[in-house]
Amino acid sequence: MSQAVDEIKIGGLGASRKRVEDSRFIRGKGNYTDDIVLPGMLHMEILRSPLAHARIKSIDASKAWDIPGVHLVLTGEMMATRNLAWMPTLSYDTQAVLATDKVRFQGQEVACVIADDPYIAKDACEAIVVDYEPLPVIVNPAQAVADGAPVIRDDKDNQPDNVIYDWEVGDRDGTDRAFASADLVSKLELHYPRSHPSPIECCGSIADFNRATSKLTVYMTTQAPHIIRAAVAMVAELPEHMIRIISPDIGGGFGNKVPVYPGYVCSILASILLERPVKWIEDKSGNLISTGFARDVYLKGEMALRRDGKILAVRMHTDADHGAFFSDAQPSKFKIGLMHSAFAAYDVPVAHLTARGTYSNKAPGGVAYRCSFRVTEAMFFQERMVQAAAADLGMDQAEFRRMNFVPDDAFPHRTPFGFLTDSGQYAKCLEVGLKAIDYDNFRQQQAQARERGRLLGLGISTMTEPLGAGNSREYDILGIKMFDSAELKVHMTGKAIVRTGARGQGQGHETTWAQIVAHELGIPADDIVVEEGDTDTAPFGMGTYASRSTPVAGAAVAMVARKIRAKARKLAAHLLEVSEEDVEWELGRFYVRSAPDRGVTIQECAIAAYANMPDGMEPGLDATAYYDPPNLTWPFAVYIVTVEVDPDTGVWDVLNMVAVDDCGIRINPMIVEGQIMGGLTEAYAMSNMQFITFDADGNCVGSNYMDYLLPTAWETPGFELHSEVVTPCPHHPIGAKGIGECAAVGGPAAFVNAVMDAISATGVRNVDMPLLPDRVWEAITYRRDVSGAPPVRSDD
Amino acid sequence: MQRRAGGKGGLIMTIVYSDREDEAAAQVPMRRIKFTVNGEKKIAEVEPRLLLAHLIRQGLRLTGTHTGCDTTNCGACTVLVDGQAVKSCTMLAVQVDGHEIQTVEGLASASELHPLQEGFREEHGLQCGFCTPGMMLAAKALLDRNPDPTEEEVRWALSGNLCRCTGYQNIVKSVLWAAAKLRAQAPAD
């Protein structure tokens, strides 16, 4: 006689199961790209441009060739003979692999050297002499569209200026009408600074072309190995079945490891030419100055308001600086990503968004850094505009939000920009957050402190964001629809292996995918191994970014387990000698409806699939599922921060931070909380210290960890997390939603709103992130807005 | 040209250069160093400019020591040299001549994990795992000199090590978990 199993005991849904992947990481036995050594492997280093915009007059690599141990020096000219000097980007643009005519940003790849060891390769890079003729430099969108601006992309036909796109969404006329009837129009302009995801592990690859088999194997730091395989097939003109991309352990990704980088392409060509494995491991400066940046968007926002606080309409214009090449990884229909997800949580009758993208002499990217394609900017703009509007109305920040939230009974709700939100309990989340921060009491303390000259502030950020791109109707990258996949093989002893088209980088897929299978089949999670990242074995998927793993690949895992359960039911009926209709399921076992004591376990069904299947049944217990989600998932979050600002120095300290996240059903609460804390820390980083800027000559400021400040354990505040509000996603098979990025998306506005609240008596409307002490001090002292837009200000 | 160093049980580092019939390869200066890593005695012949991190990773093939930033900011390469936490990308290999190195691979015994390793797993102190070895060794240096640190002392001791995934809160908990276990294991005075 068998019994149903206890879901938590077997590590199913809701179990804070300890992570499987930890046992290798805590022993130093992870297997990251740089840890891999292949026989005969050579090492590649890249020579980068010191100038932001210059014509290349000549490249003399003869001294590099002369250094013992150098096997190959690649330049743009040599790449061009193989039609590899340029490559397509994920946004229908082109990007230089190695520069031929010009360099267009500081840090651009100019040449590379392949040598016996990385030290020799670096020596050889220094021996290459490049003669540059400097050209005028553009570091922001205003310069890009100014009269007489140099055309950066003169390599392209039909590109007479620096504008990449002009895009719009929403109802222009309706919005104009609503503004005309408004009691009050609240305006805000600001810049979301350029940032870099900056995983601690830099990018790298080991290309291994085998002439005998014609097979190319590439180990690389990629969050999306199948997309890379397709891209390599296109760029290198190799047949796709002869390309194997292996993404080993990844030391953090955060969106930085989605695009195709020149270094990958060069290592592949070098391996093909030399017929030896070629390893390229980027250094930190190379990573920060050349690979996918994020943000760098300017907002002009306007909100039409009724006197009582009701939002009548929203108008937004964004200017995005994409750098020298439009190489964002965005769904192809949406030029500025999901910027139009702004105001999804608010009942806004009508809205209009215009967006312009421009080139500059800065590194390309615009990647979704812990973000679903610009939702980070969207939610920051939204929450800064909401704060400004409430202040303009003289209304309480919480009350203004409460009044304008989409109410719980209004779902499904069509947002003014066309998204369909399907569920949420926004006001309830806000109440949990306000109670946790002791809102009314804090406001009293704040008033008392102000009388004594102390500046306390409280910032709220509330938002719902679209996670889990996508549904295939609307979401594709280069035409490839954004579904995902899972394959499940149950072995005869009831143990199993799951493979998906996602690729974790610390999110704990090896732990949580097994929990979903445990939930669906009752097989203990410890009996299930999870494997991802090898395109020769994993089913096709679009990879891990934009918080899409749980919404899409995780859903595929549940669906494939259900396919297995359906077959196991037939096996159970056979074993129990009853018809399939008479078989009932409870976790881990089938039983006869009329005789519940008569049952068989899932493990007994598994062995029957190999040893005792009914006549005519296909043997084995394997399945693959491709999952195309019907909609995005819409987690909701409330972040509330209290701060104290020192009026003499502009330094601000976090007093408390409360996070209320409604991400639906939590597969592994421990891991979910880890994701939230990581996101909050990045939010704090962006608001407080972390940014990349440029001087007027296009020199990158923030090109290493001495200039690009990341918070340490010392300054990172503590966080209080709340999980009381649970609204299961109505369409996800297990009710889960994305969570990885929520805190990084919604968090920054909470910190900034808190500081702006603290200095509200100055009348200052905006200080651009990061809120460095000198900027806050300037705002307090001179009572003026402070812009952080490049070029950086000089003292003279 | 080929160089061999070491002997029975020692490390053999071999560097083969292409013979371009010039003297440049022969002029690469090499230094012989002796050191201990995770309790094992080693000899290596190294270029004076070789970083300790690269000796550990490429020479000794102990890849648990990671390199993250090149500027001694991230701490992923932290090891213990004579018990002190050192960022091995800032130290030259020749500087460990006569010294003792401990890397993450030397933390666990054959049969059991070090309490720090257990603590990081129990308290979810890691996600991508890249900073983890450096974090654990920086923490070990702290606990070796201060077995009962406050949260503040842990945060200060780890402030030379960057983590992009966790937000540190669970790392701090992990170290405090390990400290408590180590104290419980310590023989009573």
**Could you tell me where in chain A the CATH 3.30.365.10 domains are found?**
22-30+484-627, 373-467+632-782
B63 within domain boundaries: yes
Look at strands A636-645 and A455-464 and give their pairing. Answer: antiparallel
Q: How far apart are CA A676 and CA A674, in angstroms?
A: 5
Region B152-168: what's the mean pLDDT? 98
Which residues on chain A are in Cβ contact (under 8 Å) with B163?
200, 713
Q: Quick one: B67 and B91 in the same domain?
A: yes
A249/B128 Cβ within 8 A: yes
Per-residue model confidence (pLDDT) at position B110: 84
Which residues on chain A are in Cβ contact (under 8 Å) with B105?
27-28
Which helix (DSSP H) or strand (DSSP E) does residue A662 occupy? strand A652-662
Q: Which of A377, A741, A742, A765 is catalytic?
A: A741
Q: Quick one: B90 and B125 in the same domain?
A: no
A71/B165 Cβ within 8 A: no
pLDDT at B189 over 70: no
Q: What angle do CA B117, B119, B136 make, to 5 degrees?
A: 50
CATH class of A22-30+484-627: alpha beta
Catalytic annotation present for A444: no
Among A725, A721, A720, smallest CA distance to A663 is for: A725
B4 within domain boundaries: no
The alpha-carbon gap from A668 to the nearest alpha carbon of chain B, in Å, equals 12
Q: What angle do CA B181, B86, A691 make, to 5 degrees?
A: 100
> What is residue A309's three-state secondary structure?
coil
In terms of DSSP H, where are the helices of A334-425?
A: 375-393, 397-404
Per-residue model confidence (pLDDT) at position B26: 63
Residue A297 CA from chain centroid, whole number = 16
Interface list for A 716-745 with B (CB within 8 A): 716, 718-719
Residue A29 touches partner B, C-beta closer than 8 Å: yes
B15 within domain boundaries: no
The alpha-carbon gap from A642 to the nearest alpha carbon of chain B, in Å, equals 18
Among A363, A288, A285, A353, smallest CA distance to A322 is for: A363
B155 within domain boundaries: yes
Q: Which of A48, A104, A153, A370 is catalytic?
A: A370
What single-letter amino acid sits at A480?
I
B129: nearest CB among A249, A283, A710? A249
Residue A67 touches partner B, C-beta closer than 8 Å: yes
In terms of DSSP H, where are the helices of A62-211?
A: 62-65, 76-81, 118-126, 141-145, 172-180
- Residue A608's φ and ψ, nearest 5 degrees, are -65, -30
Contact (CB, 8 A) for A290 and A108: yes
Residue A412, preceding peptide bond in cis (omega within 30° of 0): yes
Q: How many CB pairs under 8 A join A and B?
A: 191
Which residues on chain A are in Cβ contact (under 8 Å) with B127?
252, 506-508, 674, 678
Which of B38, B164, B173 has the most A C-beta neighbours within 10 Å, making it the best mutation to test the interface with A? B164
Catalytic annotation present for A371: yes
Per-residue model confidence (pLDDT) at position A330: 80
Q: Can you identify the CATH homologous superfamily of domain A33-135+202-250+257-290?
A: Aldehyde oxidase/xanthine dehydrogenase, a/b hammerhead (3.90.1170.50)
B11 within domain boundaries: no
Q: pLDDT under 50 in chain A at which residues?
A: none
Whole-angstrom CA distances from A172 to A299, A315, A361, A378, B57 are 17, 9, 33, 19, 59
Among A303, A326, A328, smallest CA distance to A313 is for: A303
Per-residue model confidence (pLDDT) at position A479: 84
Residue A92 touches partner B, C-beta closer than 8 Å: no
DSSP classification of residue A495: -
A200: nearest CB among B61, B64, B74? B74
Is B23 buried (19+), middle (13-18) or exposed (0-12) by CB count in 10 A? exposed
Q: Quick one: B101 and B121 in the same domain?
A: no
| Strand stretches in A221-326, DSSP E | 243-246, 278-281, 294-305, 311-321
- In what order do the strands lie in the sheet containing B40-46? B40-46, B31-37, B100-102, B78-81, B84-87
Closest alpha carbon within chain A to B63:
A35
Q: How confident is the model at residue B13 (pLDDT cuts 50, 70, 90)?
A: very low
Q: Quick one: B126 and B172 in the same domain?
A: yes
Which of B130, B132, B154 has the most A C-beta neighbours within 10 Å, making it the best mutation to test the interface with A? B130
Catalytic annotation present for A202: no
What CATH number corresponds to the domain at position B70?
3.10.20.30
> What is residue A397's three-state secondary structure?
helix
A706: nearest CB among B71, B122, B168? B71
Contact (CB, 8 A) for B127 and A670: no
Q: How far apart are CA A173 and CA A143, in angstroms?
A: 30
Which residues on chain B are in Cβ contact (under 8 Å) with A713?
154-156, 158-159, 161, 163, 168, 171-172
Q: Quick one: B119 and B102 in the same domain?
A: no
For chain B, first and last CA: distance in Å?
59
Closest alpha carbon within chain A to B122:
A18
B56 within domain boundaries: yes
Residue A115 touches partner B, C-beta closer than 8 Å: no
pLDDT at B188 over 70: no
Per-residue model confidence (pLDDT) at position B10: 37
Residue A683 touches partner B, C-beta closer than 8 Å: no
pLDDT at B17 over 60: no
Residue range A373-467+632-782 in CATH 3.30.420.40: no
Q: How confident is the model at residue B65 (pLDDT cuts 50, 70, 90)?
A: very high
pLDDT tens-place string over residues A479-492: 888 999 999 999 99
B167: nearest CB among A27, A681, A705? A681
Q: Which of A108, A143, A223, A507 is catalytic?
A: A223
Residue B71 tokens read as: 């500027």
Domain containing residue B85: 36-42+49-106
Contact (CB, 8 A) for A230 and A545: no
Residue A713 touches partner B, C-beta closer than 8 Å: yes
B128/A201 Cβ within 8 A: yes
Q: How far apart are CA A463 and CA A346, in angstroms?
A: 9
Which residues on chain A are in Cβ contact (under 8 Å) with B76?
200-201, 251
DSSP classification of residue A581: G
B18/A68 Cβ within 8 A: yes
Q: Quick one: B139 and B173 in the same domain?
A: yes
**Residue A515 exposure: Cα atoms within 13 Å on the Cβ side:** 28
B82 within domain boundaries: yes
In sequence order, the 6+-apart residues with CB closer than 8 A to the CB of A307 are A183, A184, A393
pLDDT tens-place string over residues A666-698: 999 999 999 999 999 999 999 999 999 999 999
pLDDT at B11 over 50: no
Catalytic annotation present for A715: no
A507/B129 Cβ within 8 A: no
Which residues on chain B are in Cβ contact (under 8 Å) with A116?
15-18
Give the number of other Cβ atoms within 10 Å of residue B173's Cβ. 18
The number of domains in chain B is 2
Per-residue model confidence (pLDDT) at position A469: 81
The alpha-carbon gap from A285 to the nearest alpha carbon of chain B, in Å, equals 8
The string of DSSP letters for chain B reads -------TT-----------SSSTGGG---EEEEEEETTEEEEEEE-TT-BHHHIIIIIS--TTS----SSS-S-TTEEEETTEEEETTSSBGGGGTT-EEE-GGGTS-SS---HHHHHHHHTT--SS-SSHHHHHHHHHHHHHH-SS--HHHHHHHTTTS--SSS-SHHHHHHHHHHHHHHHHHSPP-
Angle between helices B115-122 and B169-185 (to 10 degrees): 140
Q: How far apart are CA A494 and CA A603, in angstroms?
A: 4
Residue A661 touches partner B, C-beta closer than 8 Å: no
